[in-house]
Structure 1
Amino acid sequence: MIILHHIPQSRSMRVLWLLNELEVTFGIVAHPLDRSLRAPGFLSLSPAGRVPALEIDGERMFEATAIIEYLCERFPERGLGRTPDDPDRMAWLVWLHFSETVTGSVDILHRGWAAGAGELMRDELARLRVAYDAIEARLSTPLENRDYLLTSGFSACDIAVGQAVYMARHFLEPDDFPELAAWYARITERDSFAEALPAEGAARLFMQERYEVPDG
C-alpha cells in the first residue's frame, strides 16, 4: 500500500502528479500547514517536519526528488524514469533535481512576501529569471522531439520542473519565455496534472493567485 502525506500546492503535489501518471493504487493523508507537522508522529515519517512523506510497503520515504526517483524505478512500465544505460539518464537526473533550484527561489519569495521584504524579493526574482532562462534554453535546443525536457519524451523530470514552475508562477509568470510557456501549457493539459490540483475549498500553500513585490 502506498500512502502520500500531502499539502496541496507544496512539493508533495509533484509526487501526487507522478502517482496519477503511474496509475497505481495509493491513498492520501492531507495535512494542514501548521505546527502539527512538528508532532512526533509526523516527524517519524519526515524528520524535518515537511511534506511529502511517503509510506510504502511498511517503509517510509521523504524528500520529493528521492521519492520520484524511487517510484520511477519501482514502476518502470510507465516509462517516466530513465535507466543508467539510457542516453537521457544524465539529463533526467539533472532536470529532476533542477526542480529544487526553482522551488528554492519560491520558498524565499514566499517568506520575503510575508515579511514585506521587497529588496529580498527583487533579488530572488532575478535568480528565478535565471532559472527560467535555463529551462527556456533547454527547450529551445533544435533537436527532434524537444517538446519536453528530454529528447526521448515526457518523463518525471517534466513533472518535477513543471510543478516547480506551477509554484513559481505565483510570483513570476513566464510571459517572456515563449518555449517555457508553451511547454508548461502542454504538460499541464494532462489529466494527471488536473487531478493533482487542490480541491475546491481545500487547504493550500498559496492563498493568492499572484504575490506582488511590496515597497521597501
Structure 2
Amino acid sequence: MSNDLVLYTHPMSRGRVARWLLEEIGQPYRAELLEYGTTMKGADYLAINPMGKVPALRHGDTIVTESAAICAYLADAFPQAGLAPAPTSPARGAYYRWLFFAAAPMENAMVTRNFGLNTTGDQQRMAGWGSYDLAVDTLEKAVAGREFLAGDRFSAADLYVAGLLGWGLSTGGLPPRQAFQDFAGRHASRPAAVRARELDDKLLAA
C-alpha cells in the first residue's frame, strides 16, 4: 500500500485538529484545500466523503472521515509517534473514553446548545450527552489538575480534547473555566500545534 498521506481540509473546520495530529506524527503529507459549497460538494470529493464535509484523510488506498476517527487511525498507523497507549495498557480505556466523549457527547451538547436547543426531562435520558451542564461538568472533572487524560504521556485524546476546548473557549461554546483554559493552553503550545496553526492561518490570510 502506498504510504501517501492526503488531508482534505479547510482552515475553518475540524480539519485543524487533523492537521495538528499529522504534524505530531512527523510524516510527510499533502493538504488539499476544499471550499464550502463548491469543491466540497463536487463529484470528485463526494466520491471520497459522500457527506461533503471535511476533514477526510487518504492514506494510500484507505479513506478515513470524521476528525476523531482520523486521529485514532493515525495514532495507530504510526505507533512510533507514541500518540496512543498500547492496546494492552490500562490507559487504553481512558484514551478511548475521552477521545470519543469529546467527539460525540461533548460536541453534540455544544452544538445543540448553540442552536438554542436544551434537553429537558425525558430528552436528557435519550440524548447521549444528557444535558449541556452535565457534559461540561464531566469534561471539567476529566481535565482539572491533569496534564494527560490517559497514562503519563501526551496522546491523541489530549490533542482532540485540547482542540475542542480551544474551539469552545474561543467561540463561547464553553464557559471560561480555569481547568479548560489550563488544559487547552498547555497543549496548544506544543511545537506541532504551533506549526499546524501557522499553516492554517496562512490559508485564511491568502
Superposition TM-score, scaled by structure 1 size: 0.77
Equivalent position of 1:182 in the other structure: 182
Letter in 2 for 1:171: G
3-state secondary structure, aligned to 1:4:
strand
Q: 1:33 to 1:104 in 2, by over 3 A?
A: farther
Q: 1:39 to 1:25 in 2, by over 3 A?
A: same
Mapped partners of 2:168, 2:194: distance in 1: 17
Equivalent position of 1:53 in the other structure: 56
Q: 1:9 to 1:134 in 2, by over 3 A?
A: farther
Contact 1:103 1:168 survives alignment (8 Å): no
Letter in 1 for 2:165: V
Contact 1:103 1:167 survives alignment (8 Å): no
Contact 1:72 1:80 survives alignment (8 Å): yes
Equivalent position of 1:21 in the other structure: 24
Out of 179, 199, 202, which is 2:201 matched to?
199
Q: 1:165 to 1:53 in 2, by over 3 A?
A: same
Equivalent position of 1:148 in the other structure: 148
1:152-190 per-residue CA deviation (whole Å, 9 max, x = no partner) reads 221100111111122222023542x22222111111111
Mapped partners of 2:190, 2:70: distance in 1: 21
3-state secondary structure, aligned to 1:202:
helix
Equivalent position of 1:72 in the other structure: 75
Aligned-residue offset at 1:150: 2.0
Equivalent position of 1:98 in the other structure: 101
Contact 2:92 2:150 survives alignment (8 Å): no
Equivalent position of 1:138 in the other structure: 142
Mapped partners of 2:160, 2:21: distance in 1: 9
Contact 2:163 2:184 survives alignment (8 Å): no
Contact 2:98 2:161 survives alignment (8 Å): yes
Gaps of 5+ in 1: 113-119, 204-216
Q: 1:74 to 1:159 in 2, by over 3 A?
A: same
Aligned-residue offset at 1:44: 1.0
Mapped partners of 1:153, 1:28: distance in 2: 28
1:168-216 per-residue CA deviation (whole Å, 9 max, x = no partner) reads 22023542x222221111111112222222324618xxxxxxxxxxxxx
3-state secondary structure, aligned to 2:63:
strand
Letter in 2 for 1:155: S
Letter in 2 for 1:158: D
Q: 1:82 to 1:50 in 2, by over 3 A?
A: same
The structure with more helix, counted as a fraction of residues: 2
Please give the root-mean-square deviation of Cα atoms over the aligned residues, in Å.
Answer: 2.3
| Higher RCO (CA 8 Å, separation ≥ 6 residues) | 1
3-state secondary structure, aligned to 2:64:
strand
